[in-house]
Amino acid sequence: MISLEIGRDTPAPTGESASGLTSHRPAPSNAGKTRDHRDPHMADRKDDLPRTGQQPPQRKALPPFEGLRAFDAIARLGGVRKAAKWLDRDHAVLSRHLRTLEEWVGITLVERAPTGLVLTEAGKDYHRSIATALDMVAHATLDVLNQGIHHQLLIWSTPGFAQQWLSRRIASLERANQGVEIELKPSVTAPDFLSHEATADIRYWASYEDLGELPPHLRSQVIAQSPIIPVASPDYLANAPEIETPEDLLNHQLLHENTTETWKIWLESLGVDCGDGLKGPRLWQGNLTVDASRHGRGIALTNPLLSEKHLARGDLVWIGKDNPAFPPRRGDYVLIARHDRWDEPSLRKFRQWLTNTIAKDTPEFKPSR
């Protein structure tokens, strides 16, 4: 994964990703309709509800929740790997949670068959009972969360985009989302959408990378496109070996973020053999590598949307521009959010504001249709 400016940790998207219902399960068949989340049999049984002072269920009667959630996802999706992808967990972790649950209840809930994992008869009975309870927990939790999230816009973003583009337009965003509390957090990692850590996340993905698919509970939209380019200061280039092909870059000081992989993947996409690896200082963030490049420290990878000002002023030079040996390598700025929150008013207004503002202020980076 690329960490340009700063790449993707997804989810993954670590992180976006680049991932959504709180329970991490497929929506029931009546999803989208207005639902009464209460058990219909409970509607007229208020007197049976627990009261203050009553004892909670015995400890042995309540297994670890992670085990219940793992078993529920495996039962609904028909396999450990599918469940692991849905829950954004390692499949080995889910298998361990399942074993813990089976040891707790003292019976085998899942067994292997030629077609994969299947529930035992005891597992089917147990799942029918706990699935309803877990749905009620998920719906009750969403009801509580929804009381506050509609009035907040929690935006995570790569540090470069947050600092160089988004923060300068916060006043405009506030006017477009009046009455909504806006919080902007620069981060090199993707948020945990399952716990509503963010309303939206903005990552930068390289078009030449195989990043896989987002988890099914997440949705994405390309908001801007900007090529990935090498840059250096005029002073550095005046005193360094000439650069005519991408291979020539190996003879130069390359500035890295937290890993050399960003440069390695970019060079290999242009057919360059990086051999045993790349050398050069690691500065951890894209805005730091660009700043070091401006001061003659070496060559950095960036994109024109972030470095437009420095390129226009001549502080930085776009290496290989208009050179056929350096074919463009596109990068996409992608907004990621939970599928079930995609059309919330504050998020919908934010997406529309991004689309309109990018088209107005920086039309050259407007995504192609």
Mean pLDDT of 235-242: 96
User: Which long-range CB contacts under 8 A does 233-236 form with residues at least 24 apart?
Assistant: 233/293, 233/294, 233/295, 233/296, 233/315, 233/316, 233/317, 234/314, 234/317, 235/296, 236/293, 236/296, 236/297, 236/298, 236/299
- Is residue 55 predicted with pLDDT exceeding 80? no
- Is residue 332 predicted with pLDDT exceeding 50? yes
- Answer with the residue of higher pLDDT: 1 or 237: 237
Range with the poorest average pLDDT among 103-117, 169-183, 321-335? 103-117
- Is residue 7 predicted with pLDDT exceeding 60? no
- Answer with the residue of higher pLDDT: 82 or 318: 318
| Structural domains of the chain sorted by starting position, each given as residue range(s) with its CATH number in brackets | 51-148 (1.10.10.10), 150-227+331-365 (3.40.190.10), 229-328 (3.40.190.10)
- Give the model confidence (pLDDT) of 114-157 as tens digits: 877 889 999 999 999 999 898 888 878 766 666 655 578 999 99
Phi/psi of residue 107, nearest 5 degrees:
-140, 160
User: Which string of b and e fits 252-291 if b means at least 16 CB within 10 Å?
Assistant: bbbbbbeebebbbbbbebbebeeeeebebeebbbbbbbbe
Q: What is the distance, to the nearest Å, from the Cα of residue 312 to the centroid of all Cα atoms in its chain?
A: 32
pLDDT at 53: 65
pLDDT-derived band at 35, boundaries 50, 70, 90: very low
Q: At what angle do helices 65-77 and 80-87 cross, to 10 degrees?
A: 120
Mean pLDDT of 108-113: 90
Q: Output the CA angle 288-292-298, nearest 5 degrees.
A: 125
User: Helix %, strand %, coil % for the chain, to 5?
Assistant: 40, 15, 40
Contact 221, 23 (CB under 8 A): no
- Give the model confidence (pLDDT) of 11-33 as tens digits: 333 332 222 222 233 332 333 33
Q: For the residues of 257-272, what is the DSSP string, one character each?
A: SSSTHHHHHHHHHTT-
Contact 126, 12 (CB under 8 A): no
User: If DSSP codes are grouped into helix, strand and coil, which group holds residue 58?
Assistant: coil
- Is residue 316 predicted with pLDDT exceeding 90? yes
Mean pLDDT of 290-310: 96
pLDDT-derived band at 96, boundaries 50, 70, 90: very high
Residue of 45, 5, 60 lying closest to 305 (CA atoms): 5
pLDDT at 143: 67
- Answer with the residue of higher pLDDT: 2 or 133: 133
pLDDT at 144: 67
Mean pLDDT of 339-358: 94
pLDDT over 70, % of the chain: 83
3-state SS string over 103-150?
HHHCCCCEEEECCEEEECHHHHHHHHHHHHHHHHHHHHHHHHHHHHHC
- Is residue 52 predicted with pLDDT exceeding 90? no
pLDDT at 119: 92
- Is residue 43 predicted with pLDDT exceeding 60? no
Rounded to a whole number of angstroms, the distance between the first and last alpha carbons of the chain is 24
**Residues 19, 193: Cα–Cα separation, whole Å:** 6
Output the pTM of the full model. 0.63
User: If DSSP codes are grouped into helix, strand and coil, which group holds residue 229?
Assistant: strand
Contact 274, 268 (CB under 8 A): yes
- Answer with the residue of higher pLDDT: 31 or 273: 273
> Mean pLDDT for the chain?
83
